[in-house]
Amino acid sequence: MCWKIAAKRNQTVIWVKPLTNDCYMEREPGTQPPLCKSDDDPDAVWGVPMEACITHSDQSHKARGSGLAPWPARLTALPPCLADFGYSNKMFEKDMEVWQQRVENYWNLLSPKIRPDTLRNVMDMKANLGSFAAALKSKDVWVMNVVPEDGSNTLKIIYDRGLIGTVHSWCESFSTNPRTYDLLHAWMVFSDIEKKGCSAVDLLIEMDCILRPTGFIIIRDKRPVVEFVKKHLSALHWEAVATAEAEGESEQDEDDMVFIIKKKLWLTSESFRETE
């Protein structure tokens, strides 16, 4: 694997992966695991069988990575790979500005219901460039940024910003422990899965599964979506916290709503009997 020990203390070892392909090229023929084929796409992560091989180091990525700003300036600095996705510097800065304002508005609606330590584990269910997570830099939270599997794989931008993330389809369940997250942010997620013909009810159930009791959901979507979710609040033991007209940046946003929900802590009658 060409890994080297970077640090070692007692039974804890930190290994470092090489930055170049030099060591791989010097290995004996037949050494396992082999290098991946030259046409292998390391960014193809959804619906692709895993291969037991080592991806070649891309020297262009190394050169770009060397220009990353130190943390926490990386959160708002222009990512080196921005142009690869068709974004200009101005578009990136506008996206950051928009999400900064949106997050401030979210917190104004949430503040009466939360304490400083209420939220820790946060998920952005449609992260795009990661600006929602970056706007939370002053909060004591970490954010899992989820990028849709059928769109532009902006994980590179998210990683360049010093954030973490994954690729996922919300037509399927998310691989995590139940009740992991304190806050879910769903920006146009319901509208997206409806276009794919997937079940919005199934998505509600999945969100309920991964959200801890007394956790919160922020839904930013079209008015009919909000009305649909409201019909299922009682069945899911959720309660409405706030509803507001979304501030629109374009004509497409005119019918957008912000709907904040809290998941109740509840027990069945059988649970009460078991504790007696």
Q: What is the pLDDT of residues 104-121, one digit of tens each?
A: 999 999 999 998 889 999
Residue 203's domain is classified under what CATH number?
3.40.50.150
Centre a 10 Å sphere on the Cβ of residue 188 and count the other Cβ atoms it contains.
Answer: 16
| Residue with tokens 């899965």, as numbered in its chain | 193
Using CA atoms, how far apart are residues 252 and 245, in angstroms rounded to an integer? 13
Name the burial class of residue 5, with classes exposed (0-12), middle (13-18) and buried (19+) by CB atoms within 10 angstroms of its CB: exposed
Q: Is residue 232 part of a domain?
A: yes
Per-residue model confidence as pLDDT tens digits over 129-174: 999 999 999 999 999 999 999 988 999 999 999 999 999 999 999 9
Entry pTM: 0.89
Are both 98 and 52 inside the same structural domain? no
Q: Is residue 138 part of a domain?
A: yes
Are both 93 and 27 inside the same structural domain? no
Q: Which of 42, 57, 72 is the last residue of a domain?
A: 57
Q: What percent of the chain stands above pLDDT 70? A: 92
Confidence of residue 50 (pLDDT cuts 50, 70, 90): confident
Q: Answer whether 189's CB lies under 8 Å from 224's CB.
A: no
Number of structural domains in the chain: 2
Domain housing 262: 85-273
86: its two tokens: 């068709």
Q: What are phi and psi of 273, to 5 degrees?
A: -65, -35
Instruction: Supply angle C-alpha 22, 27, 32, rounded to 5.
Output: 120
Q: Is residue 68 part of a domain?
A: no
